[in-house]
Structures are given as structure tokens and as C-alpha cells.
């Protein structure tokens, strides 16, 4: 999704040697640096491994999880710098098509990307957690992305969001709106979204962990309560809606720049399409231009410029009840 910032521009290849050690049976990994800089001490004080571990622990209490076939292919990768380690986890269940996590860490930054996608027989929202931490700033997007656009499906908002808006209110003061959000991407967010920036502090990161778990528990409860859709036309609609979402994210995700710097263009695209947004090649044959023809250039390619359509939202475009006010 587009947020009017570039994660890639915040990334700097570390100068001092870094040794990465990891355990294949755990989600955590550690870095030991010679000549540690002050920025490393700030970043290393935050670890997103607890987030993934806690979410998986909560899930296993309620759901039988299986390892996804993607885990064998995508478990860990090393950046072109030979120092930055990417750790991936992938699971599935009878209802959850893919529950996956990616963590990136080096001495200057951490990235955490955690998402949950349902099978097409279920219309549950998509769990979305994207966190970026450097020495100077934290950028956070946390949401239950609507499978169906809320402007078109008012009953969908009532079904999934109206009863949990209290979660947003609980964290609205400590995590205020993070600034410009493009009109192009706003349709993929719900009124529950936490889009924020903040300087690191123990209080903030403790609150973020709490918010992450509350959002995740709300989503997990949805996946448990939802009933299977038996109408073929609705299953097709769910499948296409998820594919449209995945197609947008695979093309427009702001993390692409960072992944390209770390892995090179080819591996970055493979990771985006085959792991992070798995399903873009499987759920449908439609292309980005099929869904978003307004982005087609004269030569038939996709216009990759950001913010070419619609307004940007400097302030939160929903009122306290979740009604879109623009």
C-alpha cells in the first residue's frame, strides 16, 4: 500500500561487521556487532519476535495450525550485504489460507510484516501488520483490511467493524494519525486502521505490542466465528476481492524498495509475489491493469509513480463511529 514514505530510503547498509545467528526451531535471531554504534543499541532494544510468537501462541490455543508448503522454500534469506538476515514463517489451517510472518533485522533497522489471508469460502478481513523501526523513527500500519470495499458494502462494515471500534479508541491518543495517506490506498483500509509514526520509547513499544495482540485477537475471533460461504457466486467474489488486494500490494507495496536493495530486483519480486502476497499467481489470471486500468501507460506498462490519482488525507478520514467523512 502507498503511504507517502519510502522504507527503502530509510535503509543504510551497515558499515561495521555483523554476525547473525539463528535457530531453525525458533522465530528469534540475534545480531552481534563489533564497534556497536549508538543507533544499534536503540534499534536492538526492540524485538518483534515476541509479536509473531505471541500471535502464533494465541492461534494455536484456538486453531489447528499446519506448516505451509511455503515454509520449506522461504525460511530465511541473507541480504546482498552478507549481513542482513530475513526470517520467514508460514502456516495454514482449514479456514486460513496463509498466516505468514517476515522479520528483517540489522544494526540500523528492523522490519516486521505479519499477515493473515482466508480461504475464498470466507469473507473475513485480511490481518495486516507492517512495522518499521530505525534509530530515529517507527512507522506502523496495523489494520484488519476489508476484503470488500466498505463504500460498496455497508453491511460488511456492520458485520466486522462496528462492534470493535473500541479498539481504535483505546489507542487513538497514544498513536495519532501518521500524516498523509494517499487516496489510492485508502480503499484498502478499514476505519480501525492504526497508521502512525513515533520516536522509540519503552512505553510506546509496550503499547504497540498490546495493540497488535488486541487487533490480532479480534481477527482470530472473526476467523473462528465465520461460517463457510456456500453460494458459488459469493465464493468467486471473495476470491476476486482477495486477488485484487494481493495484486495491488504486490505492485505497490512500499517495502519493495528495501527488498530490492537487500536482495536485488529478481529475488525481491519473487518474495513479494510468491511469499508475502502469495495467491497473486494462483487465485486468478487477472493482471494489475485489469483491476486498475487508470494506471496503464501509453506503452501498456504500469505507471509506478505514487499518488497519481485521488487526494491525500492529512488527517483521519473516518469519524469516531467509523463513518467515512473524507
Q: What is the DSSP string of 211-239?
A: HHHHHHHHHHHHHHHPPPP--HHHHHHHH
pLDDT at 22 over 90: no
Percent of the chain with pLDDT over 70: 83
The domain spans of the chain are 7-231+308-313
pLDDT at 40 over 50: no
d(CA 3, CA 181): 5
Among 7, 10, 3, which Cα is nearest to 135's?
10
Q: Does pTM surpass 0.95?
A: no
The answer to whether 245 touches 188, Cβ cutoff 8 Å, is: yes
Question: How many of the other CB atoms lie within 10 Å of CB of 281?
Answer: 14
C-alpha cell at 63: 486453531
Confidence tier at 182 by pLDDT (50, 70, 90): confident
Among 284, 271, 275, which Cα is nearest to 243's?
284
- Average pLDDT of the residues in 180-202: 91
d(CA 125, CA 158): 13
pLDDT at 196 over 60: yes
Q: In this predicted model, what pLDDT tens digit does every residue of 120-152 receive, in sequence order?
A: 999 999 999 999 999 889 999 999 999 998 876
- Average pLDDT of the residues in 227-256: 95
d(CA 266, CA 33): 29
7-231+308-313, which class in CATH? alpha beta
d(CA 74, CA 89): 8
Cα–chain center distance at 96: 16
The answer to whether 132 touches 105, Cβ cutoff 8 Å, is: no
Among 211, 29, 26, which Cα is nearest to 129's?
211
Amino acid at each position: 500500500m502507498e503511504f507517502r514514505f519510502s522504507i527503502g530510503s530509510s535503509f543504510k547498509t551497515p558499515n561495521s561487521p555483523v554476525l547473525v545467528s539463528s535457530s531453525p526451531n525458533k522465530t528469534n535471531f540475534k545480531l552481534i556487532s563489533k564497534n556497536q554504534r549508538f543507533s544499534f543499541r536503540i534499534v536492538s532494544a526492540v524485538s518483534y519476535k515476541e509479536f509473531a510468537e505471541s500471535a502464533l501462541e494465541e492461534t494455536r490455543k484456538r486453531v489447528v495450525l499446519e506448516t505451509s508448503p511455503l515454509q520449506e522454500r522461504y525460511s530465511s534469506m541473507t541480504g546482498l550485504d552478507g549481513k542482513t538476515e530475513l526470517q520467514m514463517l508460514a502456516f495454514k489451517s482449514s479456514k486460513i489460507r496463509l498466516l505468514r510472518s517476515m522479520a528483517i533485522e540489522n544494526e540500523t533497522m528492523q522490519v516486521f510484516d505479519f499477515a493473515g489471508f482466508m480461504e475464498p469460502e470466507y469473507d473475513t478481513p485480511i490481518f495486516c501488520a507492517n512495522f518499521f523501526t530505525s534509530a530515529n523513527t517507527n512507522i506502523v500500519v496495523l489494520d484488519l483490511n476489508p476484503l470488500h470495499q466498505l463504500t460498496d458494502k455497508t453491511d460488511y462494515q456492520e458485520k466486522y467493524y462496528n462492534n470493535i471500534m473500541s479498539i481504535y479508541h483505546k489507542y487513538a491518543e497514544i498513536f495519532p494519525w501518521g500524516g498523509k495517506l494517499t487516496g489510492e490506498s485508502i480503499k484498502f483500509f478499514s476505519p480501525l486502521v492504526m497508521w502512525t509514526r513515533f520516536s522509540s520509547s519503552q512505553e510506546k513499544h509496550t503499547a504497540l505490542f498490546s495493540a497488535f495482540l488486541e487487533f490480532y485477537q479480534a481477527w482470530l475471533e472473526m476467523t473462528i466465528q465465520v461460517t463457510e460461504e456456500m453460494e458459488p457466486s459469493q465464493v468467486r467474489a471473495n476470491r476476486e476481492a482477495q486477488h485484487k488486494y494481493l495484486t495491488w500490494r504486490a505492485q505497490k507495496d512500499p517495502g519493495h524498495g528495501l527488498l530490492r536493495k537487500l536482495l536485488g530486483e529478481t529475488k525481491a519480486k519473487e518474495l513479494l509475489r510468491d511469499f508475502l502476497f502469495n495467491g497473486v499467481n494462483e487465485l486468478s489470471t487477472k493482471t494489475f491493469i485489469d483491476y486498475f486500468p487508470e494506471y496503464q501507460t501509453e506503452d501498456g506498462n504500469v505507471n509506478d509513480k505514487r499518488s497519481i490519482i485521488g487526494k491525500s488525507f492529512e488527517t483521519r478520514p473516518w469519524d469516531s463511529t467509523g463513518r467515512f467523512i473524507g
